[in-house]
């Protein structure tokens, strides 16, 4: 997959040289390119922003540098062009799965007050936020999206970290995890997990995951309701 990011701070993306995303790049699963918006400035002073019409504090990114930066990328028709903005739709696992179906992606990082609305109208296909808080720029949000999308591509995770067993691929939180030692500061590993009965272990995990989801994230159950099988699992327990 090739991902082009339009940004004023390409150096920030060095964070994606590490860990699993770094390996994905070295293995050829990800071709990540940061496009410096300032290379498309409107004058020799490197200007890319300007005052907001109507008069409000803060600068707005001018449309011409953004348009020229996008034109330089030469992405095929149908490629998602994603504007990172707190005004966007909240990014979630289904969106990551949708983006992972493409082999190109363009991410546009906003700065200052934001982008001129006409760039959004003419060039942007998706507006995405990563949550209800405000970042100083879209870069950290773009990195989150690159990570969440690329790990879904076949071959990026080994069998060990397979994405199909992710809690959110089932739209639920994860279950509690234990490793050695068997007793830590007076707390023991649950008996079921040591028993070797795989059906029982599976039922325990799914029940614990559901209990957590019910308690911490009831909104997930509104979005993706309990299945009849999940209802049965919960009834057995209580
Ligand atoms: Cl995508 N951008 C900015 N600037 N702030 C955010 C965000 C994006 N998502 C959450 N907060």
Tell me how far CA of residue 121 lies from CA of 80, 117, 193, in angstroms: 14, 6, 54
The whole domain housing 16 covers 2-150
Backbone region of residue 196 per phi and psi (left: phi > 0; alpha: psi in -120 to 50; beta: other values): left
Considering the domain architecture, whether residues 51 and 145 belong to the same structural domain is answered as: yes
Please report, for the domain that includes residue 125, its CATH number.
3.40.1280.10
167 within domain boundaries: no
For a substitution probing ligand 1, which of 130, 133, 140 has the most ligand atoms within 8 Å of its CB?
A: 130
Q: How far is the CA of 3 from the centre of ligand 1 (A)?
A: 19
Q: Rounded CA gap, 232 and 226, in Å?
A: 10
Residue 237 has pLDDT above 70, yes or no: no
Query: Do the Cβ atoms of 88 and 126 come closer than 8 Å?
Result: yes
Considering the domain architecture, whether residues 43 and 143 belong to the same structural domain is answered as: yes
Say how far residue 31 (Cα) sits from the centre of its chain. Answer: 17
Which 8-state DSSP code applies to residue 112?
T
The model's pLDDT over 158-205, given as tens digits with 9 standing for 90+, comes to 876 678 778 787 799 999 999 999 999 999 999 999 999 999 999 999
Please tell me the total count of domains within the chain: 2
Considering the domain architecture, whether residues 137 and 176 belong to the same structural domain is answered as: no
Considering the domain architecture, whether residues 145 and 193 belong to the same structural domain is answered as: no
Q: Rounded CA gap, 223 and 156, in Å?
A: 29
The model's pLDDT over 11-60, given as tens digits with 9 standing for 90+, comes to 999 999 999 999 999 999 999 999 999 999 999 999 999 999 999 999 99
Range with the lowest mean pLDDT among 7-16, 74-83, 104-113, 135-144?
Answer: 104-113
Q: How far is the CA of 87 from the centre of ligand 1 (A)?
A: 8
pLDDT band (50, 70, 90) for residue 236: confident
Q: What is the mean pLDDT of residues 137-154?
A: 98
159 within domain boundaries: no
User: What pLDDT is attached to residue 105?
Assistant: 98
pTM of the model: 0.94
Q: Which is nearest to 114 in space by CA: 50, 198, 167, 177?
A: 50
User: What pLDDT is attached to residue 165?
Assistant: 74
Atom of ligand 1 nearest to the CA of 88: 1
52 within domain boundaries: yes
Considering the domain architecture, whether residues 108 and 197 belong to the same structural domain is answered as: no
Phi and psi, residue 5, nearest 5°: -120, 125
Q: What is the mean pLDDT of residues 203-230?
A: 96
Q: Which is nearest to 83 in space by CA: 54, 132, 123?
A: 123
User: What pLDDT is attached to residue 160?
Assistant: 60
Considering the domain architecture, whether residues 120 and 192 belong to the same structural domain is answered as: no
160 within domain boundaries: no
Q: What is the mean pLDDT of residues 77-89?
A: 98
Please report, for the domain that includes residue 227, its CATH number.
1.10.1270.20
Considering the domain architecture, whether residues 143 and 187 belong to the same structural domain is answered as: no
Tell me how far CA of residue 100 lies from CA of 20, 79, 135, 146, 159, in angstroms: 16, 12, 24, 10, 18
Using the 3D structure, point to which of 89, 116, 150 is the last residue of a domain. 150
Edge to edge, the sheet with strand 126-129 lists 31-36, 2-7, 104-109, 81-90, 126-129
Residue 76 has pLDDT above 70, yes or no: yes
22 within domain boundaries: yes
User: What pLDDT is attached to residue 238?
Assistant: 52
Considering the domain architecture, whether residues 184 and 145 belong to the same structural domain is answered as: no
Backbone region of residue 34 per phi and psi (left: phi > 0; alpha: psi in -120 to 50; beta: other values): beta
Find where tokens 């990172």 sit.
84
Pocket of ligand 1 (CB under 6 A): 84-86, 110, 129-131, 133-135, 137-138, 141
Considering the domain architecture, whether residues 97 and 29 belong to the same structural domain is answered as: yes
User: What pLDDT is attached to residue 230?
Assistant: 94
Q: What is the mean pLDDT of residues 100-127?
A: 96
């Amino acid at each position: 997959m090739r991902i082009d990011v339009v940004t004023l701070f390409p150096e920030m993306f060095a964070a994606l040289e590490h860990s699993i995303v770094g390996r994905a790049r070295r293995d050829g699963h990800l071709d990540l390119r940061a496009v410096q918006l300032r290379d498309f400035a409107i004058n020799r002073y490197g200007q890319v922003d300007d005052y907001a019409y109507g008069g409000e504090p803060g600068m707005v990114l001018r449309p011409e540098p953004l348009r020229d930066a996008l034109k330089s990328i030469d992405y095929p028709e149908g490629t998602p062009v994603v504007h990172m903005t707190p005004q966007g739709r909240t990014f979630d696992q289904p969106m990551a799965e949708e983006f992972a179906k493409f082999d190109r992606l363009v991410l546009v990082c906003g700065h200052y007050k934001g982008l001129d609305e006409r760039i959004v109208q003419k060039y942007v296909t998706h507006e995405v936020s990563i949550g209800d808080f405000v970042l100083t720029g879209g870069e950290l949000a773009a990195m989150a999206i690159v990570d969440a999308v690329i790990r879904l591509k076949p071959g990026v995770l080994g069998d060990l970290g397979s994405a199909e067993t992710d809690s959110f691929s089932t739209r639920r939180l994860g279950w509690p995890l234990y490793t050695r030692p068997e007793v830590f500061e007076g707390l023991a590993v649950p008996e079921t997990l040591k028993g070797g009965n795989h059906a029982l272990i599976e039922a325990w995990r799914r029940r614990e995951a559901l209990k957590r989801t019910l308690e911490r994230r009831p909104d997930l159950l509104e979005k993706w309701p309990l299945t009849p099988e999940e209802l049965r699992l919960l009834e057995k327990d209580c």
